[in-house]
Amino acid sequence: YKQKGTGRARHHSARAPQFRGGGKAHGPVVRSHEHDLPKKVRALGLKHALSAKAKSASIIIVDELKLTEAKTKALVANFETLGLTNALVIGGAELDQNFKLAATNIPNIDVLPIQGINVYD
């Protein structure tokens, strides 16, 4: 209500917390309760994940990831000869630009540098 002329105290809104039907004085606050894992635990998880993949023989190691031209069709043909429908390709410190561009438009194929690998991928 208005500040002057009513004979009542100055209040901003009838929906203020001190009024019946008003808001909460200290309502819920959205907080993040996540915490980061230590580096050693993350490294151990990655080690176990790679060991499990190697044990089940579902890991393929290739010497070089280079293409002469960035053609998705050629890369899809290479993956089909290997029998891969979904894969995580881990390159070295530097990824071949042609390989990266060719793999960008293929569904279920992820290309990451060695620094980007994690347990989830």
63-87 pLDDT, tens digit each = 777 888 888 888 888 888 888 888 8
Q: Is residue 116 part of a domain?
A: yes
**pLDDT above 90: residue 6:** no
21-63 pLDDT, tens digit each = 988 999 999 999 999 999 999 999 989 988 998 888 777 777 7
The two three-digit tokens of residue 64, written as one number: 């070089």
Q: Is residue 102 part of a domain?
A: yes
Q: Is residue 84 part of a domain?
A: yes
Q: Is residue 22 part of a domain?
A: no
Task: Work out whether strand 109-112 and strand 87-90 pair parallel, antiparallel, or are unpaired.
Answer: parallel
110 in Cβ contact with 120 (< 8 Å): no
Provide the residue range defining the domain that includes 96.
Answer: 62-121
Q: Is residue 51 part of a domain?
A: no
User: Under 8 Å CB-to-CB from 11, ≥6 apart: which residues?
Assistant: 1, 18, 19
What is the count of structural domains for the chain? 1
Q: Is residue 16 part of a domain?
A: no
Map residue 88 onto helix, strand or coil: strand
pLDDT at 102: 86
Against a cut of 0.85, is the pTM above it?
Answer: no
120 in Cβ contact with 42 (< 8 Å): no
